[in-house]
Amino acid sequence: MALRKELLKSIWYAFTALDVEKSGKVSKSQLKVLSHNLYTVLNIPHDPVALEEHFRDDDDGPVSSQGYMPYLNKYILDKVLPDREGKRCMFCVKTASRTYEMSASDTRQRQEWTAAIQTAIRLQAEGKTSLHKDLKQKRREQREQRERRRAAKEEELLRLQQLQEEKERKLQELELLQEA
């Protein structure tokens, strides 16, 4: 049941994202694509006839989430089983040549691995070689900025001190002139 709940939550987020007009309805063509993607991702054999039959184009306009739920319940959610061998923290990494199945010990570790993979992909896309070098460069830049701010602050304090000394010197001269 927990898997079904998580799956429903993800589908609801996808449905909401597709609802660009915030009307509570999504076009049938988008729901067909979403359904097909769910079949593919969940590795469920799908019946294209049932998909087309449910989303006939002779009906009126877009479909609400309530209209999509019967299809989800009948063709997708009832066919979802838990991860292989009861493992709930499995995920796949697909590359151009191969698909890797990974199984983390818990949800937190799976999220950490997923975040690390996403970071590696982002760095690769940005043309950077490693996260370590990227973080090292950021720390260096932050250190240099702090040093520049400290130096500017010292210069400002020195300037203020010189102005204060100049002011005191002029006050002394003024006092001497007034006494004379």
| Nearest of 17, 10, 28 to residue 67 by alpha carbon | 28
Answer yes or no: do 121 and 101 share one domain. Answer: yes
- Strand 63-64, strand 99-103: pairing: unpaired
What is this structure's pTM? 0.42
Domain contains 134: no
Domain contains 136: no
Answer yes or no: do 55 and 97 share one domain. Answer: no
Instruction: Centre a 10 Å sphere on the Cβ of residue 15 and count the other Cβ atoms it contains.
Output: 21
* Domain interval for residue 44: 2-81
Answer yes or no: do 13 and 69 share one domain. Answer: yes
Answer yes or no: do 92 and 36 share one domain. Answer: no
Q: What is the pLDDT of residues 1-60, one digit of tens each?
A: 566 777 777 888 888 888 888 888 888 888 888 888 888 777 777 777 777 777 776 566
